[in-house]
Structure 1
């Protein structure tokens, strides 16, 4: 407790301390000059009389007799009382504020200690807010570091959300928080230098921590990676295609099917009739996880008929495609975008009547295992 009190008293606002010292010096000078010329005292007695009068001690050994002397003594005493009250008020107010801050900080640290499986978010700016919204929608535990308290005024703290308004680079608190109970650290400040410092601080103490960092400039990606960031996201890299696919995720369907080249047009006709777009095709080579991808990006039935006509009139192209289908055991995946989930349900019902559907939204690893078994 004594250490805390000492730290509080030694961290009074500089502007208030400076003002208090200036006013004391000014009043003291007024007392010395007045005592010398009005009271008729020598320099030593003037200093002595100023001190006892300002402190309202008044031993009575030096007493004003004339009217001007009494007025001077009154103003000096009142000035001393007012100044002491001002200084003590500053100390008490600052003490209370600091005590409140320490108390609030202690409560937050206790909440963090009781929290399990949480995310740490560094920076609550434009990007950080979006990240927090995603985490909050999924009821995740989140610890937010943001030095600007005004930015987080709209945040309501709870058992799931703790806000720490301090510069994350000031001490090693971030390293302590990013321990075993931390799922991931998301660094979203707009400064790559700050992001780099945070990554280094965390990685030094927590070699197993999962760190995702934002990079504002492309040239800093390699620095962040070398510092220990597991994943780096740069707004400069995200293109229009990625933005679209991310926004369309609720209405994207990856359908893994098995059929021959003779059924391509029938399949495409069903997809087109449901108002869906065939984004790409992945051909899964048995035993290899990463597929061969081919962009399509069309929903127009005319394109499908045009491709079928091309195959009918070009035997070499048809033979090459047949060989590809044979090598992948006729197994491939379509990434299909559509207006809503009900459309996908109707699409699946109609496709099942024409072709073999192996699965939907399967990962490449799952498909690789399936192709292995089918080949065997």
Structure 2
């Protein structure tokens, strides 16, 4: 989509040039009875205004045609030069090549996340995914939002510019190979449509949708969303809890990244464990002493319940997932020693 938008002016300029050549050749062949080679030659020297002589003396009608043809070509050439100047000197050409390269990169993505909408919620979702090392592709119609984010963070965000409700746009973002999609568009109706389209294109996709109204939740679930988030309700609840239980909220802010002393919740599945560590109990793994991080919960099996503060003698089995809390350094140590 971006390539089409960026190339539209260049295509128009080249189209006008081709049209001008067609008019010139047809005019010389029709009015002056030139053969194709002579007509093409006269068209080229007339359009380029090089001042070479005529192949054959022109009739009065031919001279009038050439006079208007020269004036028309001055406009066409001026427009073509302005477009080429913009592409070369204003960075459009460099930007176009960069986006073509990004499109090729997106085609190679596998198991990535698609973020539809780059407003406040979409930007935060992308930022969290990027910091966690997860590949993400942004789908957004407003090029200025992405340009500002790229310039501010000196980033090159993989992006597809277009309407996220269209099949072609989601396919361009690699939805067939994605593992999840976050739709954070401003209108609930658009999010419903994105969920419907995405579910049809990839039945196994995990879809997280944003909603403004509670009445939209059931519609989004019916459309195929796995989870629905209501930012306004979460924000109101958050503010109330800052009054009722401020220390709890401060701790949650540390986990969510809103506090400078950021903590991370990390998943460590049984399959992630080094083979030599499998079969050991939580006590024997001794995550806290070895990394400083804490095992705070356990999900038993793929569809099992979530157990908070699991027993130290429990031995994780296939399908189990440990939830570990720690700062960046502690989580990094966890990866190095256990995964």
TM-score, normalisation: structure 2 = 0.50
Q: Quick one: which of 119, 122, 133 aligns to 1:125?
A: 119
Q: 2:207 aligns with which of 207, 211, 220?
A: 211
Alignment equivalent of 1:143, drawn from 134, 137, 147: 137
Specify the structure having the higher radius of gyration (Cα): 1
The CA distance in 2 between the partners of 1:101 and 1:239, in whole Å, is 38
Aligned match for 1:193, one of 189, 194, 199: 189
Q: Deviations along 1:162-183, whole A, 9 cap, x unmatched?
A: 122222233334256234453x
Q: Deviations over 1:30-83 (max 9, x none)?
A: xx9xxxxxxxxxxx97999xx99987374443478xxxxxx9899657525524
Q: CA RMSD in A?
A: 5.2
Structure 1: gaps (5+ residues): 1-6, 33-43, 65-70, 254-358
| Superposed displacement of residue 95, structure 1 | 9.8
For the 8 Å contact 1:168–1:174, the answer to whether it is kept is: yes
Native 8 Å contact 1:195 1:214 kept in 2: yes
- Partners of 1:128 and 1:226 in 2: CA distance: 22
Q: Is the 8 A contact 2:115 2:184 kept in 1?
A: yes
Q: What residue number does 1:228 align with?
A: 224
- Residue number in structure 2 paired with 1:278: none
Larger RCO, structures 1/2 (Cα 8 Å, 6+ apart): 1
Give the structure 1 partner of residue 274 of structure 2.
none
Change (3 A) 1:240 1:12: closer
Deviation at 1:187, TM superposition (A): 0.7
The alignment covers a number of residue pairs equal to 235
Matched, 1:251 2:251: yes
Q: Following TM superposition, by how much is the alpha carbon of 1:124 offset from its aligned partner in structure 2, in angstroms?
A: 0.4
The structural deviation recorded for 1:141 is 2.1
Asked if the contact 2:178/2:205 (under 8 Å) is kept, the reply is no
- Tell whether the 8 Å contact from 2:87 to 2:93 is kept in structure 1 after alignment: yes
Whether 1:238 and 2:234 are equivalent positions in the alignment is yes
Tell me if structure 2 keeps the 8 A contact 1:135–1:142.
yes
Aligned residue for 1:82? 74
Query: By how many angstroms is 1:198 displaced?
Result: 1.2
**Equivalence map 1:1-376=2 (5 Å):** 56=46, 58-62=54-58, 76=68, 78-79=70-71, 81-86=73-78, 89=81, 103-156=97-150, 161-175=157-171, 177-182=174-179, 184-238=180-234, 240-243=236-239, 248=248, 251=251, 361-362=296-297, 365-367=306-308
- Unpaired runs of 5+ residues, structure 2, are 47-52, 254-293, 299-304, 315-339
Cα distance in 2 for residues equivalent to 1:160 and 1:18: 32
Contact 2:162–2:169 under 8 Å retained in 1: no
1:125 to partner: Cα distance: 0.9
1:238 is paired with a residue whose SS is: helix
Does the Cα contact within 8 Å between 1:12 and 1:94 map onto a contact in 2? no
